[in-house]
Structure formats: C-alpha cells, structure tokens
Amino acid sequence: MKRRSLLAASVVLALSTTLAACGSGSGAKETAGGVDAATATSAMDFGSMEELVAAAQKEGGLNVIALPDDWANYGAVITGFEDKYDIDVNSANPNASSAEEIQAAVNQKGQSTAPDVFDLGAAVALANTDKFAPYKVATWDSIPEGNKHPDGLWVNNYTGIMSVGYDSSKVPEPKDLDGLLGADYKGAVALNGDPTQAGAAFAAMGTISTLAGGSVADFAPGIDWMGKLKAAGNFLTVDPTPATIASGETPVVFDWSFNNEAAATGNPKFKTTILPGAAYVSFYNEAVNADAPHPAAARLWQEWIFSDDAQKLFMEGNSVPVRVDALKESGSVDEALLQKTTFGTTSEDWVSPNETETEAANKLLGERWAELTQ
C-alpha cells in the first residue's frame, strides 16, 4: 500500500531518502528547437507531441516518487510509459507520503534526483500549488471541469471508492457503520494511516463522518464516532500493510477499494465491501514539479497519465480514472470491469469534497485528532 502516512500540509516530516539517480541528460531545459521545457504549458509549445517526445527522450529519464507498483496499478502504468517512450523511470521511495513528496522536492531542489512529478492527496496538493507548473494535456477537454485547476496546476487522475476490507475468517462482514462498534470487532478496526497526514485515512474519515450524520466538510460526527470506536476497544492503531493483512494482524481496514482488493492477493479470505449510504470518493492529484530536473519528461508523463491507455490501466488496478465518462462514451471500457471497479456505483452516488470542504475538514482534524491517539 502507498505512503498513506502523511497528508496534511501542516505536518511535513524531514525526508532523508536518497532518490535514484537520473540519466546524464538531466537538467537540460532547452530542447533542440530552443523551447524552454520548464515553461511549456502544452505539447504545442514544443511544436507537436512528437517534438515533446523527442525533448523528453533527450533528457534521459524521469523521476517519480511515492508510486508503489501495487497502488492503483502504477507498476503497469510506469512500465507502459517506459515501453511507449523508451524513457527510464527512476522510482524513489514508493511508500512515501504526499507530504514527503513535497519535502523531497524542497530538500533536493536544483538536484538531478528531485521528483519531476507528484501524485498527491487533496489537502497537500491544495496547500502547495506554488510548487507546481501549469500544464494542460491533449485530453484536457474530456476531463470534467471540477476535476482540474483552471490553469492546469493540478489535475485529478484517479480515485477509489472508500471501502471496508475485512478478514472473513476472523470477523463477520460489516453491514453498517455502527455494527463496527460491536464485540465482533474488538481491537480489529484500522485506518490506513493518520488522517491528519494520510490521504487514504483522511478519506476514511470523510466516509465515516458522512455515514455518522456529518458531511465531507463537517468531520465532527466522524471524530465523535471514532471516539466511540476507541471507547469500545475496537480502534486498532496499527498502520495496515499487505503483510499485516496477510497475517491477520489488521482484520478490518478502512481504505480505498483498490488497496483492499489488492490485499486479497496475500490473504484470499480478505474481502471488500461498501457500507450502505453515500459512496465517498476523493481523487488524487497529478502535478508537475515547477523545479523538475526533467521538465519535458515530466510533461510527457502527464500526457501519458491522462491518455486512454493509462486511464484504462488505472481501472485494471481497481481504481476509477478521472476520464471514466470519456472512456464509456467512446465504448473503450469493459462494462464488467467498470462495475467491478466502481462496486456498481455511479457518480450520482458519490460524495467528494471540494477545496473549501477539504480545508474545513482538515482544520478540524488538526484540532481534534490527537485526542483520539493519546
């Protein structure tokens, strides 16, 4: 599972991880045609997509961070980029958090090892737009308006459905939120990280709050419910991983559906369910590092991420790509895969926070979450 240990911009830990070295062409911002790749806002600034590809290949590599192979099918997404464009991807610190991504960019600014691109939870992305370079991909018009910054500073790339994974050999299938307060779930219920820091855990609090009578902006009912979970002795503070799920150490996990589905690989008895009520989604955000050492390759990565091929790869990893409606309209998405990925839900069933709601929820978490972990 991915770096779900830091989300909130207010909590930024020092990162000492050494990122993988990039190719010898790193740092070359000028293309053969004299284009400053670091200021390009679309492929047409290079003259054409072909010239963007050539500029990216000349740079000799791409640095990514916090992209484990089993998170939303990123292993296949990375391999697809390398195969299509013959550019090596240097993947650093796969389990880093969103905030650690930003800290890596700050710590390594001006170095050839700095991240070229980011994949971030909402709160961190919205708090760090000054570190992003605007860019609009060729498929820009098919990305819904609500899923992108108007200037292209960030663009939603994929989401999961917030779900509950459970070890069916240890606990019964959860049927509703309050059922998790019962004796069947003693010491069993975990979030994937700290919600003041981790994107998946923040989203878990979003769905808990919504189901407990709050909203995507008002997390107070969800925090109160977590207090009840702790008082019942059911709140498990272990950070779940594939290993803890495989061993049965974390029998019940609030997490993205694509993570819980992937966990079944290590534990076939680990099942995934969606609690009745609104389905919580919160898209992750793709952005170009304004100080990317490979600025052309960073922009080509954006083109790849939002292409039909890569968006379908996200879906094959049980995540919902931002251009899912465009894929449906073109007839290029398998209906059975769509139903499996979305658990039969549609956008009409989803609740998702906007910028203001995310900030309000994050602020309340910052004020109250510590009381649950003391």
Per-residue pLDDT of 99-114, as tens digits, reads 899 999 999 999 999 9
pLDDT score recorded for residue 348? 80
Averaged confidence pLDDT in the chain: 89
Structural domain range at position 367: 162-280+351-373
- Quick one: residue 358, left, alpha or beta (phi over 0 = left, psi -120 to 50 = alpha)? alpha
Q: Are residues 254 and 209 in the same domain?
A: yes
Q: Are residues 105 and 205 in the same domain?
A: no
pLDDT score recorded for residue 200? 87
Phi and psi of 169, rounded to 5°?
-85, -10
Q: Are residues 67 and 90 in the same domain?
A: yes
CATH code, domain carrying 129? 3.40.190.10
Q: Are residues 139 and 120 in the same domain?
A: yes
Q: Which residues contact 20 (CB under 8 A, 6 or more apart)?
A: 63, 90, 91, 92, 113
Question: Residue 141 to residues 16, 132, 150: CA-CA distances in angstroms?
Answer: 39, 20, 11
- Whether the predicted pLDDT of 10 surpasses 50: no
Instruction: In whole angstroms, give the CA distance from residue 312 to residue 316.
Output: 6
- Give me 130's structure tokens: 């000054």
- Whether the predicted pLDDT of 235 surpasses 50: yes
18-22, 33-37, 53-57: range with lowest mean pLDDT? 18-22
Residue 12 lies in a domain: no
**Would you mind telling me the total number of residues written for the chain in this entry?**
374
Q: Are residues 176 and 275 in the same domain?
A: yes
Q: Are residues 94 and 149 in the same domain?
A: yes
Count CB atoms within 10 A of the CB of residue 237.
11
Beta strands in the chain (DSSP E): 62-65, 89-92, 117-120, 132-133, 155-156, 158-159, 162-167, 189-191, 252-256, 270-273, 279-280, 285-289, 320-321, 350-351
- Whether the predicted pLDDT of 332 surpasses 90: no
Q: Are residues 223 and 367 in the same domain?
A: yes
- Quick one: residue 118, left, alpha or beta (phi over 0 = left, psi -120 to 50 = alpha)? beta
Return the percentage of the chain with pLDDT > 70, whole number: 91
Q: Are residues 179 and 130 in the same domain?
A: no
CA angle 167, 168, 172 (to 5 degrees): 110
User: Which of 81-90, 95-104, 333-342 reaches the highest mean pLDDT?
Assistant: 81-90
Q: How confident is the model at residue 11 (pLDDT cuts 50, 70, 90)?
A: very low
* Structural domains counted in the chain: 2
Residue 26 lies in a domain: no
- Whether the predicted pLDDT of 6 surpasses 70: no
Q: Are residues 269 and 366 in the same domain?
A: yes
Q: DSSP states of 220-243 as a string?
A: HHHHHHHHHHHHTT-B--S---HH
Q: How confident is the model at residue 20 (pLDDT cuts 50, 70, 90)?
A: very low
Instruction: In whole angstroms, give the CA distance from residue 196 to residue 5.
Output: 9
Q: Are residues 366 and 268 in the same domain?
A: yes
Per-residue pLDDT of 112-169, as tens digits, reads 999 999 999 888 898 999 999 999 999 999 999 989 999 999 999 999 999 999 999 9
What single DSSP character describes residue 18? P
- Cβ burial, residue 305 (10 Å; 0-12/13-18/19+): buried
